[in-house]
Amino acid sequence: MIEGPRIYNLFPRILGPVDQWGKHVDRIKAMGFTWIYMNPLNYPGFSGSLYSIKEFYKFNSLFAPKDAEDPFSWEPLKAFIKKVHAKKLKFMHDLVINHTSIDSPLVEEHRDWYTIKYVVARKSDGKVILQCPVDEEPSTRHFPEKSYIIEKRVAHPSAIDPADARKVTIWGDLAEIDNRNSPGKDALLKYWIDLVHFYIELGIDGFRCDAAYQVPGSTWKAIIAEAKAAKPGVLFTAETLGCTLDQLKETVSAGFDYIYNSSKYWDFTALWCPEQYESFRAHAPSISFPESHDTPRLAFETEKRDDVQRFRYLFAAFFSAGVLIPVGYEYGFTRPLDVVATAPSDWESPTFDISEYITKVNAFKKRFRVCNEDGLMRHFDYGNKSVLVLRKTSTDGKQHLLLVYNKDWTNDQVVPLDSLPYFLDLGASIAQVGVDIDDKPIEGPSWKATLKPNEHAFFYQEKKD
């Protein structure tokens, strides 16, 4: 059985110098994780954001050991990766190739690698307020010269608010790479391939490819082929949250091993999540998470409810082949992880400690093949809107795992399943299974229980050859 990746995100800004990171490895291993993932460790631009990379081949001096002779050396990271490998864990690092910092030397040295657009900036503070395609020059009637600067520049990445297209976020600290149409795209591709070889030589085993759908599939295909030739088994995961199905198809056609899943945002009722899962799973297995470095802390959102914290990790582990949590999830940390501002002083006293439960969930996930694949998912219309009934099937159709969940956080729900064979239709015996219970064979065709708020039950069925 191929196990899906169980990923622990050690967010570097909260950890301090690299020589302090090793103290976390044993407990990560003990919880049953198989990967340690770290956000970009490259030297950043003026904003200090981990994702605003100024120099790819320099280590971020913020994480250098205090007594380091060379604060930009990658040698301390190599030593940390060796500790990770000694514990039979693998190491994953962000691969960011859709932008650099705006103050990167590459902007001046290779301007032809970047997207060029007409930019409107306020003269008063220099802030960019509008970017247009290069062939659409803004009107001076709307932006008079006395108040605005209009010129062609290296563009900044931007995003439109899905709820209001009039709201556009422009990341002024970033410069947008043009991997698709750059006149120098051959040299640009070589630069990325050389960078991946450099990472592999450091001992890196896999990559989370940031905003992967914003980079052409052909670029990824060349990079992944080169990487897998140099290091067979190297893992490529595509950060694809918010992309369209067409964008996903182009991205995964390059050979990605996993994509990221949006189940964190599901209310367990709306149809979009299981429908999206079904659309995407044909192209690549996915990784789910109950929170990430890009989201608010779940404990903050739920007023520190550890029962919710427990279930949301369990659900992510069940829903997708892979699962991820960031550092502090197990302790109910409430402060968000910030790519610019988070510091070691943001390490919190635990609200609770569910490390033991996470260990059990990871063992539960490891036990069932269906939890390590993105097989067929069926969302049953149970009738009681407070109860979720969701069945996941292995890719070969021989295993069912049925989740029954009281999504009402306040009230008990009486849950009768009058015909278990309707939900579990492989014609084989059925057992109730779980993280904290021994397997219990189900006698007869029905089951009934009162589920407490946020309580769940699992039923397992396997058709033997």
Share of the chain above pLDDT 90, in %: 85
Q: Which tokens go with 189?
A: 């591709």
Domain coordinates in residue numbering, the chain = 6-98+184-372, 105-176, 377-462
45 burial via Cβ count (<10 Å: 0-12, 13-18, 19+): buried
Each residue of 259-275: pLDDT tens digit?
999 999 999 999 999 99
Each residue of 19-51: pLDDT tens digit?
999 999 999 999 999 999 999 999 999 999 999
Each residue of 159-172: pLDDT tens digit?
766 556 567 788 88
Provide the pLDDT for residue 177: 96
Helices marked H in 44-184 — which ranges? 75-86, 105-109
Provide the pLDDT for residue 157: 87
**Backbone φ, ψ for residue 288 (5° rounding):** -105, 160
Stretch among 27-31, 221-225, 282-286, 396-400 having the lowest mean pLDDT: 282-286
Does the pLDDT value for residue 202 go beyond 90? yes
- Summarize the chain as % helix, strand, coil (round to 5): 30, 25, 45
CATH number for the region 377-462 comes to 2.60.40.1180
Rounded mean pLDDT, 56-64: 98
Does the pLDDT value for residue 339 go beyond 90? yes
Provide the pLDDT for residue 151: 86
Each residue of 108-126: pLDDT tens digit?
999 999 999 988 889 998 8
* The domain defined by 6-98+184-372 carries CATH number 3.40.50.300: no
Does the pLDDT value for residue 414 go beyond 90? yes
Give residue 354's pLDDT band: very low, low, confident or very high (50, 70, 90). very high
In sequence order, what E strands does 133-173 have?
A: 148-154, 158-161, 164-170
Rounded mean pLDDT, 279-293: 94
